[in-house]
A and B are shown apart, each in its own frame.
Chain A
Amino acid sequence: MHDLARRLLGLDRRWIFLVIAFGTVLPLLYPLGLPIRVSPEVRKIYDYIERLPPGGVLVLSFDFEPAGKPELFPMAVALLHHAFQNNLKIVGVTLWPAGTGLAESILSQVAQEHGKVRGIDYTFLGYAPGEANAVISMGQDLSAAFPADHYGTKITDLPILQGIRSLRDVHYVISLSVGFPGIDTWYVYGKEKYGFELGGGCTAVSAPRFYPLLNTGQINGLIGGLRGAAEYEVLLAREGKAIAGMDAQSTTHFLIIVLLALCNFFSVFTRQTGRTRYR
């Protein structure tokens, strides 16, 4: 047993990669349909959007680049479906230069599915350089921050922005953030100063950082990682990429827990039997 344990502890790590690969691929090919429980922080964002009046303006900040796409793309799609279903007007922006093309394509694609018209039901303002200064600028005067939208139309000519002069006039802001600038930028330089309600979506890596903000009510909800996106899809009753990935996520987590437990067991076991042999 001691030798077996030692051999297993010295196992070539490529076998572990192979096990994880199978643990990921198999549930994607043959879904298990494991249940997904909706957490209160995700439900809060859903409920808040439900309560917004039709025609209300939602600013969706796509603060991510292609590296954050696996987690934040399903989130953005689910939020856009929800907002368009409720006839909200969407104003898209991004604080990340490399996110511009991705954000525009997500927004226009979902809008097209709902038959929404650009300039009336939604618009994409594009990349706002300056991080914190960009948010402050939008809070003071939207037309100064973005004289024209991403497509070159003057924003004073856009029907969607009639009556919206700054962030003070919008109903809700959601930042889908992969890092800085992101949720904290919108909170620190936006919500605190201009008083709009703020929700957040982020990658799982950065989720623990935002729980203190959630706890104090500085943000009113948080969608964390692919899991959060899947919960939102459950609330919408619309199966997307996030729900499809949840079985694989659960399986890989289970495998990692098993591997961790085995490694710890064998590690303690070899240390103890080694000591006994020495005595």
Chain B
Amino acid sequence: MNTETLIGAWVATGLSLFVYSFLYKDNPYFKLGEHIFVGVSLGYILTITYHEVIVKKLYVPLVEQGQWWLIIPALLGLLLLTRFLPPIAWLSRIAFAFILGVSSGVAIPRQLSSFILQQVQGTIKPFVTAGDGGSVWVSPATLNTLLLLVGVVSVLVYFFFSVEHSGAVRQVARLGIYFLMVSFGAAFGYTVMARMSLLIDRFDELILYASPAYGYATLVLLGAVVAGLIWWERGQLRP
């Protein structure tokens, strides 16, 4: 195994354990891990963005390939930075107006079509299916269609505040609450699943790095973090 991989494994293990030490309580190791994470993430994104956007999409085409019209978006981009210079901050509005105009023009029709019109179309599917020879039957999918329709209508009624929620409206709105609760439950279940997946991945790697091939990185660093926490706790207790 090469030295780079080994150093990477030790650093990854150490930082994971530093961050997990928060489960005991907030401590300096966690803070160190947190600050390194924020700094490295920001530095990495800045570097990548500089290389992939400023160099590849602007400098190379503009300087090396003579695509002079790229000066226009570059200038608009620079105008955004005038926000930091109060006397000429108003210039940034030109760039913002351009961004807002283009984004609205691009997004509104597409979003309307994708998330409203097509979703409405998907909600009002036919209950019965026509077969050969004019035969008509109710397919098992009808139950789904019905459930979807009842769910959408009852939730919409729940959020309809122009009418007092009493009598039949109250009952339908109440049904809407049940549908909402089921959807919140499903979303929460998926969230738990996602968080557990992150934990599993970390533990999977910590187990791998506990092997002799990685110099027992996990075991050594776990011992070091625990010892460090004990030392820190004793320091806290001293008057």
What's the Cα separation between A205 and B204 when bound, in Å?
A: 21
Q: Is there a chain A Cβ closer than 8 Å to B171's Cβ?
A: no
Q: Which residues of A contact B201 (CB under 8 A)?
A: 69-71, 241, 245
User: Which of A24, A129, A252 is the one whose CB lies under 8 Å from B52?
Assistant: A129
Q: Are B52 and A126 in contact (CB under 8 A)?
A: yes
Interface of A is mostly: helix
Partner of A98, one of B41, B148, B190: B41
- Confirm or deny: A195 has a beta carbon within 8 angstroms of a beta carbon on chain B: no
Of chain A, the residue at the smallest CB distance from B184 is A208
Cβ of B24 under 8 Å from chain A: yes
**A248-B190 in contact given A189-B106, A208-B183, A215-B122 (Cβ < 8 Å):** no
Secondary structure at the B interface, as helix, strand, loop or mixed, is helix
Give A256's nearest chain B residue, CB to CB. B192
Q: Are A204 and B204 in contact (CB under 8 A)?
A: no
A110 in the interface, Cβ–Cβ < 8 Å?
Answer: no
Assess the A227–B200 pair: CB atoms within 8 A: no
Bound: A207/B106 CA distance, A: 26
CA distance A217 to B122 in the complex (A): 9
Q: Do A188 and B111 contact each other (CB < 8 Å), given the known contacts A28-B203, A69-B201, A100-B48? A: yes
Q: A129-B57, A216-B118, A216-B121 are in contact. Are A204 and B193 (CB under 8 A)?
A: yes
A245, closest chain B residue (CB): B200
Given contacts A98-B45, A192-B110, contact A71 B194 (CB under 8 A): yes
Q: Is B118 a contact of A245 with CB atoms below 8 Å?
A: no
- A127 near B114 with CB under 8 A, answer no
A143 within 8 A of B: no
Q: How far is the CA of A215 from the CA of B113 in the complex (A)?
A: 16
Q: Which listed residue, B53, B186, B190, B204, touches A244 by the CB 8 Å rule?
A: B204
Assembly CA distance A250 to B115 (angstroms): 34
- A241 to B207 CA separation, bound complex (whole angstroms): 13
Beyond A21-B203, A100-B48, A208-B186, 19 additional contacts (C-beta under 8 Å) are A25-B207, A29-B207, A70-B197, A97-B49, A98-B41, A126-B52, A127-B52, A129-B52, A132-B107, A147-B61, A147-B65, A216-B119, A216-B121, A225-B197, A249-B200, A252-B199, A252-B200, A253-B193, A256-B192
